[in-house]
Structures are given as C-alpha cells and as structure tokens.
Amino acid sequence: MHRSFQCIFFLLFSSSVLMAQSLKEAPARLSIFVDCSNTWCDMTFLRSEIKGVNFTLDNQAADVHILITSLTTGSGGSQFQLIFYGQHVFEGRTDTLAFDVDRNATEVESRDLLLFYLKSGLVPYVIRTAVPRTLNLDFRERYDSTQGRDSNVTQKDPWDFWIFRIGTNGNLNADAVYKSYRYSANLSANRTTEKWKYGLFLNASKNQSSFNYDDGTGEVKFTVVNHDLSLYHYLVGSINQHWSWAYDARISQSTFSNYKLRTELSAGVEYNIFPYKQVNNKLFTISYSLTAKDQRYYDSTIYNKLQERVFTQTLRANMTMNQKWGNLSIGLYGEHFLKDWSFFNLGVNAYTNIRITGGLSFFVAAFGGVTRDQVFLPKGSASPQEVLARQRQLASGYSYYTSFGINYRFGSKLNNFVNPRFEGDNRNMNVSF
C-alpha cells in the first residue's frame, strides 16, 4: 500500500511540474523509443498493451528515450531500472523508476511488472500531449494472489537471504564410429546483502569420448577420459560506496590441465570510481589481489616438478557504461609470479554497441591475451590423437577473438502494429538491430 501511494504521488507531482515547465508546443501524440540493448524486452507484448503512443525505431525522432537495464539480485531475481530521457519539447527532463522481480517469477509476471512501471513513467509525458483525455488512467492496489496482501511490501525472510541450488545434468552423443558422454553435478549456497556477499560452490564433471578409426593396419579404438572437480568459496565485504574487500579460496582437480590437486587462497581490495549505487548506468572498478597457490601434478611438468608453491599478484580494471548512445564494456587483467616476473599473463576484452544516429549503429567485440605462466604443462610431446581429442592442454603463448559489424535501419520510423500470424516457433528467433 505504501509503495502504491508513493507511485501515485510521483506521477501526480511529476505531471504538475512538467505542465508548468515549458510553453513549447507539445506533440499531438507522444513518440517513444524503448531501448532494451542491455536486457531483453518482449516488444510485441509492450506494443500490444500500450496504446495512444507511437513506438519509433529512431531514437532521435522520439520524444522520450527509455533506457531499460537489469541486474541480478542476491536472491537470484532481477532488479530493473527505467530511465526516461525527455527529448525535443521535453529536453532536459529525466525520470528514473526501479523495481525488483522475484527469482521465481514467471515470464508473464516479469513482463507485467515492466509494463506497469513503463506505463507509470510515461504518464507525465502523455499528459502534455493532445490525447490524454482519450486514454484511461487507473490506480488499483496490486495483491499477491497467494498471500492476499500487497506483493511489494518488504517481508521478513525466513531463510535470512540464503539461496541454495543443487543440480545434475548429462548428455550422450553417438554414431557408428564415435561415442561421447558427459555428466556433471553442482551444489551452491550464497547470501547477498548490502554489506556482505557469501558464496560456496561445488562442481564435479566427467567427460568420456571414444573414437574408432583405421590407422592402416586395422581398426583402432581411442578413448579420452577427463574429469574436473572444484570447490570454491568467497566473502566480499562493503567498506563504503567506493571501497570493498574480499577473499576467496579454491580447491580443484583437472586431468586436462594436469592438476592432481590445486589449492588457492586470495585476498584483495576493490575501488569503484563511481558510487556502487550507480551500477545500472556506469561502473569503473580497479582491484588488486595477492594469491598463494599450492599445485600438485599428475605428470612431471616441463620444469620437472610434481609439486610447487607459487605466489602471484593481480591487477584488474573494469569499466561498463549503459547510456542513451549505447553500451561500452572494457576489462583489463594482469597477473605475474612474485618470484619471477617472466611468468605472467595479460588480457583485455572490450565490447561496444554504439547508436550513431537514428537507425545507424555499429558493434565491436574483442578479446586478446598473452600467456606466459603455463608451468603446469606436462613434459613431453603430445600424440596426434591427444591433440585432436583435446585430452590435455597444450602450450599457447596467446589467444584472441574479435567480432564486429554495422547495422543501418531505414524506412518507416513507427512500429505500432502487432501481427503474429504464421510466426509459430520461430517467434523467438527474430533478429532485431
């Protein structure tokens, strides 16, 4: 009830302020650009349920540019934020609404909440057009049908914000000369609050593949078996709106990477140039950590070791921007051995999707890394079968990946019509730029 009154007060106050703001001629019909480049939106549903406005495909032609972003909450749900940027006659006006979606919410419940807040945020703008009297404005309390009370009211959590997950999966793939199966199991427990983040994760998997081939002397069967085991724990503490600290511990085993037993303990600090509360729109973090690693191997390494202990230090920088012009994400990573700086690895990744103007946009995704710390590699050369079957990890000094493209949309700027005929199962495969 309290939240409903807050929403009503916000709408009425915003409408009165906006009506007194400008004497410019208001549009006859509001044009909006719904920007879901950071998350997924059911645009067919939104266009079907919101009438009386024009959905435009050109952000420059819209009277209101609506940027919708989402983040995963500690309970496994989602936190959505809607920023309404006024343009043209509404230039200079910006409104923000936020809401949470429960982790068990269905797709219908999630999109209904998004629709409610999207409609609510549009009221101050629609009220200044020539069509407000032809639209209905209705305020009703939202009740939880299972509990008979306002579903938005904060309630005491009997689980104290702890989330547990357990799962298993497997697959089988075979033909006349090839057979492969994989199965895995996982268990996790985590708790997230404003001040603390706890996590415990256990994963185990086994992968076996068999190949039949003719080596010239007869049929040969080659079998590859790999297994992985990992136990991971972390604790993150909040210091203030810019600083945080953390430690994590990991125990793992991997036949592919030659680890019979690998134990890691790490501690570090992180500084966010922007306050953490602005994470929906911008994030710029720099972190530093020290790590101790005890590594035991199945086979002697290229340095003739079956066991060793190393200490490393790591520096990371990450920047993410979600703005009207598009999205930008850049990450830098560097780690080296304290005793010998010649053992190191460096990495950089970047992604951007920039809307230049109207229907013209381009995107670039790239990753590159230099690796000089593969001390775990077993000595001796790998056989052709081991290479092709990826039975063990091989030396590699670098890796990279890139993807880029440009998109241009032209023609009608409006897109108010919904026509789902003959879409069938291909509805979710539609591509939109």
Q: How far apart are CA 392 and CA 394, in angstroms?
A: 6
Q: What is the mean pLDDT of residues 243-253?
A: 95
Instruction: Give the pLDDT of residue 153.
Output: 43
Q: How far apart are CA 140 and CA 263, in angstroms?
A: 56
On the 0-12 / 13-18 / 19+ scale of CB atoms within 10 A, 297 is buried
The residue type of 401 is Y
Instruction: Give the pLDDT of residue 149.
Output: 42
Give 181-222 pLDDT, tens digit per residue. Answer: 999 999 999 888 888 899 999 999 999 888 887 777 888 888
CA distances (Å), 370 to each of 81, 139, 245, in order? 37, 58, 28
Which pLDDT band, with edges at 50, 70 and 90, does 356 fall under?
confident
Give the N- to C-terminal CA distance of the chain in Å, as an integer: 40
Domain ranges of the chain: 2-152, 239-408
Q: What is the mean pLDDT of residues 124-138?
A: 75
Q: Is the pLDDT of residue 134 over 80?
A: no
Decide: 65 and 33 in contact? Cβ < 8 Å: yes
Neighbours of 37 (CB within 10 A): 15
Long-range contacts of 73-77 (CB under 8 A, 24+ apart): 73/100, 73/103, 73/192, 74/161, 74/163, 74/190, 74/191, 74/192, 74/193, 74/197, 75/102, 75/103, 75/161, 75/163, 75/192, 76/103, 76/163, 77/101, 77/102, 77/103, 77/105
Q: Is the pLDDT of residue 174 over 70?
A: yes
Instruction: Give the pLDDT of residue 227.
Output: 92
Which conformational region is residue 380 in: left (phi greater than 0), alpha (psi within -120 to 50 degrees), or beta? left
What's the number of CA atoms in the CB half-sphere (13 Å) around residue 350? 10
Q: CATH number of 239-408: 3.90.220, 2.40.160, 2.115.10, 1.20.120? A: 2.40.160
Decide: 287 and 269 in contact? Cβ < 8 Å: yes
CATH topology identical between 2-152 and 239-408: no
Percent of the residues in the chain that have a pLDDT greater than 70, as a whole number: 78
Give 183-193 pLDDT, tens digit per residue. Answer: 999 999 988 88
Q: CATH number of 2-152: 3.40.50, 3.40.1130, 1.10.490, 3.30.70? A: 3.40.50
State if pTM tops 0.85: no
Q: How far apart are CA 227 and CA 298, in angstroms?
A: 13
As given in the structure block, the two tokens for residue 347 are 């990495």
Neighbours of 285 (CB within 10 A): 19
Instruction: Give the pLDDT of residue 24.
Output: 56
Residue with tokens 């501690």: 267
Q: What is the mean pLDDT of residues 317-340?
A: 88
